[in-house]
Chains A and B, each alone.
Chain A
Amino acid sequence: MPVDTSIPVLVVDDYKTMVRIIRNLLKQLGFSDIDDAKDGEEALEKMKVRKYGLVISDWNMEPMTGYELLKSVRSDDGLQRTPFIMVTAESKTENVIAAKKAGVNNYIVKPFNAATLKSKIDAVFGE
């Protein structure tokens, strides 16, 4: 079954350019309902107001990192089932293992391309 591209997606990154790149790639993949947040704190506030079908988050942000956001989402009864993809320049083994342990659905290392983003979204939704 193809991925439902009508789901609202939340892109979390403190670099406006990266948000713009991911937005454009998502648009190319058919997603149209795309929201963004500049850090984990803002993302969490938005997630408490609106139910997102997918979160794509950077790791290195302040005041709340993507790792903290992931752990907060997974420990919140209402949000814990939200699919979560980490897109980050953090490429050490300890980062990947920590994210997996915290419940991330997939992990993309920057720099990445459109095909990688697509394949990870497909993998998350079991296609």
Chain B
Amino acid sequence: MANPAKTDATALCLDALARQQAEALVSCVNDRGQQRLDMGAALDVARAMTASLEETLRTAEHAFADAVRDAASDIQALRTQLSTLGVDEMRRDRLPEAGMELDAVVEETEKATDRIMEAAEAIMSADREDKDAFEALVDMQMIDIFEACTFQDITGQRIGKVVETLKRLETRFDRLLDALPIGAGEAEATEEEKARDQRREEQILNGPQLDGPEVGQDAIDALFD
């Protein structure tokens, strides 16, 4: 069934067009001065002309309405999909928590390393003349080193939680991409990101390689021999 609002819109459009054409016709004929054309007659002619456009206009109107309806449906699907992704929970809880977990890992690793280094330094600088005292000190410091190494268990658990968050994020992005007709576009980098990338390139900052050094020490040594 035709939507009355849309029908009105088409009719209004055709009427406006007819009026414009009639005014142009009256102006054109009357300017020549040989014959006068009244507005009513001109409007009849113009309406007859614009009537031929009605079908085209209505087809265009239906196509436009279909496109709007499809877009609205896509938006609704996106909203539904986003609501199932738990974006809010990710932003509010999981991502900040992941950041805090990693901060804690850095802090705990640093503390443990400090403690191990202190133990090693205490052994290094100890007086070795008194063998019994030196042995007791080494035993004590060894226990301290073992205790410090317990950080690995806690940091392992913290990193595990972060990995779980990242996996969850990856799964949800996959679901979103599967559900939406999104092409493989490249994200536009911010000015800050572009500047950082450029600096990394200029300064050849690649960072540690995932599978260990790309060039081993022996190969490097060969370059300096």
The chain A residues found within 8 Å of chain B, CB to CB, are 17, 20-21, 24, 27-28, 59-60, 65, 67-68, 89-98, 100, 105-110, 112, 116, 123
Contacts and interface: CB of A to CB of B under 8 A. Distances in A.
B203 A68 contact: yes
Contacts of B208: 89, 91, 110
A109 B114 contact: no
Contact of B215 (A17, A20, A59, A91): A91
Interface in B75-125: 110, 113-114, 117, 120-121, 124
Where chain A touches its partner, the secondary structure class is helix
B204 interface: yes
Closest CB pairs A-B (n = 8)? A91-B213, A89-B208, A65-B203, A109-B213, A92-B214, A17-B113, A91-B214, A92-B206
13 contacts: A17-B113, A24-B121, A27-B124, A60-B205, A92-B209, A95-B206, A96-B223, A97-B223, A100-B223, A107-B224, A109-B216, A109-B220, A112-B217
Interface residues of B, number: 23
Contact of B207 (A60, A96, A109): A60
Contact of A94 (B121, B204, B216, B220): B204
A90 B220 CA distance: 12
A89 B207 CA distance: 6
A92 B208 CA distance: 9
A116 B93 CA distance: 46
A97 B110 CA distance: 32
A17 B217 CA distance: 22
B214 A93 contact: yes
Residue with the greatest number of chain A CB neighbours at <10 A, chosen from B113, B207, B212, B215: B215
Contact of A20 (B117, B209, B214): B117
Contacts of B114: 17
